[in-house]
Amino acid sequence: MRSRPSSSLLVVLLVVLITSVVSVQGLWTGKGSDGWKGTVRSDVKGYYGYLQALFLRNDLGHEPFAWEYVRYTSDGRTVNKYFCGTSLLMAPWFGLGHALALKDQQAPKDGLSIHEMRALSVGAWVYLLLGLLALRALLLGMGVRDAAVAWTVAALGLGTQLLQYAALQPGWSHIYSFCTAGVFLLVLHRIHRGAHPLWWVAGAALFGLLVLIRPVNGLMVLALPVVAGRDTWPLVRRLFARPAVWIAALLTAAAVVGIQPLLWYLQTGHWLAYGYQGEGFHWDRPELFKVLFGFRRGLFLWAPVLLLALAGTFQSLRRDRTRGLGLVAYWAANTYVISSWWIWYYGSGFGSRVFVDHYPVLAIPFALLLNDLTERRWRMAQAFIAGCIALLGFQMWQYYVGILHPESMDRHKYAFTFLRSGDRFRDQLGGNYQAAPYNPNGMDVVLEESCGLEGGCSRWQGGRIEERPEARANGRVCVFDASTEYGITFTATTDRLPTGRALFLEVGLQRFEARAGDSHAMLAITEVEHADGGTAYYEPFRMNPVPPTPGRWEQLEYRIPVPPLQPGDRLSFYFWNQGHAGQVLIDDVFMRVNAVRPY
């Protein structure tokens, strides 16, 4: 009699099927059938850039400038700032897609055709499948019952950002880290169970690949006690009792990681290079609470199902102290490193993407907790997981259609959009509240001015300044209406501002909207203009963080990083009443310009 497939295996296949459907609907055919064109953007340009430079343009070390990843060396050569592990795992799918593009006479041959992009999506599905299968085998091998494994897989695959980065953003590094980490943990478990010493070499190769994908993945070495539990120290002693094994493992890991210095040498002529100029860690000011619970990217706010992994960590402290302490160390070390990065929310995105790499490790306490629940608590956990999956799916849809802001979510925006789905909630959020540039030694205030519009302002100038009955105490405001496109503007040149130092603007103002929607189309503009009139920097954003209350003055705040100025540059900040919409008043403008101290 043929046995039925286990529930956990069926759930693995279901998760991959749902992911592929979301990819096809959201990325392949969504957004006017052009969604696939956004596959290679942001960080992905750097990973994909290796493949284009090596196999298409043959210009590694002499690439055309791309601000996302190309950095120049002192001798004018270029270096890709990213590590190449993601590129390595992309390569087979890039090759498959490009082979199809070469056979299509209508397709471009620059590596950016629909064929390569779809091939990357298929590759992400395959890596998702491999990662989930490895995770399933690991958990079953650790004695977790099949039903608990099935719900763990469903929770991770459908209730976290893994769905976003496997289905809609397959070019980012996270699905590749997830897969590699899952297989790495499975190999550790096999070693723990007494597998042949060559498994150490396989584990070392996978560890090297993890580092090659993202160097901070090296912290996954802390997962050893999470897998082995109280057998950790006997396992380590067994390894060091065989020098040939650990030396071979060390050399294997070094050989894999050594691919990166080889690429640096090919680009720069040097075996070591650093492409993250102007970026780094603020070790003395980690944003721990914001990373875990904040409205912008909080891990547990945007993937609340992972609270079960946290609860499982505390349970492990009681059941297996070594595993529990290992989990505490893993959480602490990785959260500290993640929250110490200068841009702790890691740019635009949905939820906390950097934790996706660590889901295989977090799945262990998650599954062990489910495995030990009483019947009543098991039903409660199932209901909680189902609710989290539904919430994640809905919010992911909100992000896709523009209800959620891709960059600057906060508590006001979260409250405004929570469980909202109507068209009137789409594309309503704006504002600009970014992290300061990397500043390990802090920043200096180099210019500051408040202006109540009653006169006497030196940097805030221009616009239609009138006395209006709606005005605040001083009676004079800057007026925008159907006849006014631009208004009061802050300007400063390098006669007053430093050159060669990244800047950070703190902007404040009071805004009054006469009727609902009058200020919806208004943009705030940050601009840097060279002495010859050329534009060096231009960043527009919607003035309103959330739709305002008509007939009431409200305080607005912005935080805007600006790249270093060159001699003769002029910095401007102003508002653009595009479309000459309804009546908007502005008062009490404020600007503080900070400059990063040298480091």
Give the span between the Cα atoms of 555 and 578, in whole angstroms: 21
Match 């007939």 to its residue by tokens. Answer: 551
Model pLDDT for residues 58-113, shown as the tens digit of each residue: 999 999 999 999 999 999 999 999 999 999 999 999 999 999 999 999 999 999 99
- Cite the DSSP H helix spans in 273-425: 288-293, 299-302, 307-319, 321-340, 359-371, 375-401, 411-417
Model pLDDT for residues 265-284, shown as the tens digit of each residue: 999 999 999 999 999 999 99
In the predicted model, is pLDDT for residue 4 greater than 80?
no
Model pLDDT for residues 504-553, shown as the tens digit of each residue: 999 999 999 989 999 999 999 999 999 999 999 999 999 999 999 999 99
Count of residues for the chain? Answer: 599
Angle ∠(466,525,546) on CA atoms, nearest 5: 80
Strands 523-529 and 476-480 turn out to be unpaired
Question: How far is Cα of residue 265 from the mean position of the Cα atoms in its chain?
Answer: 29
Distances (CA, A) of 193 to 21, 142, 299, 361: 38, 10, 33, 18
The average pLDDT across 10-32 equals 93
Per-residue 3-state assignment (H helix, E strand, C coil) for 120-137 = HHHHHHHHHHHHHHHHHH
Q: What DSSP letter does each residue of 482-493 carry, written as one string?
A: TT-SEEEEEEEE
Can you give the pLDDT at residue 195? 86
Can you give the pLDDT at residue 194? 87
In the predicted model, is pLDDT for residue 262 greater than 90?
yes
In the predicted model, is pLDDT for residue 221 greater than 70?
yes
Closest C-alpha to 135, from 364, 308, 356: 364
- Strand partners for 542: 523
Can you give the pLDDT at residue 482? 87
- 581 confidence band (pLDDT: 50, 70, 90): confident
Can you give the pLDDT at residue 2? 62
Coil, strand or helix at 480: strand
- 364 confidence band (pLDDT: 50, 70, 90): very high
Q: What is the pTM of this model?
A: 0.95
Match 């904040």 to its residue by tokens. Answer: 294
Can you give the pLDDT at residue 369? 98
Can you give the pLDDT at residue 474? 65
Structure-block tokens of residue 313: 């960590």
The average pLDDT across 435-460 equals 93
In the predicted model, is pLDDT for residue 582 greater than 80?
no
In the predicted model, is pLDDT for residue 1 greater than 60?
no
Evaluate whether 444 touches 597 at the Cβ level (below 8 Å): yes
Angle ∠(359,25,120) on CA atoms, nearest 5: 55
Can you give the pLDDT at residue 316? 97
Evaluate whether 312 touches 139 at the Cβ level (below 8 Å): no
Structure-block tokens of residue 128: 């998702």
Give the span between the Cα atoms of 259 and 54, in whole angstroms: 14
Evaluate whether 352 touches 161 at the Cβ level (below 8 Å): yes
> For the domain 443-596, what is the CATH code?
2.60.120.260
Distances (CA, A) of 7 to 4, 141, 145, 153, 374: 9, 16, 10, 10, 20
Give the span between the Cα atoms of 238 and 241, in whole angstroms: 5
Give the span between the Cα atoms of 82 and 275, in whole angstroms: 7
Model pLDDT for residues 290-324, shown as the tens digit of each residue: 999 999 999 999 999 999 999 999 999 999 999 99
Give the span between the Cα atoms of 127 and 208, in whole angstroms: 18
Distances (CA, A) of 425 to 238, 405, 515, 541: 60, 11, 17, 17
Strands 464-467 and 476-480 turn out to be antiparallel
Give backbone dihedrals phi and psi of 283, rounded to 5 degrees, phi first: -65, -25
In the predicted model, is pLDDT for residue 473 greater than 80?
no
Extents of the domains making up the chain:
7-401, 443-596
Question: How far is Cα of residue 383 from the mean position of the Cα atoms in its chain?
Answer: 29
Closest C-alpha to 45, from 130, 120, 126: 120
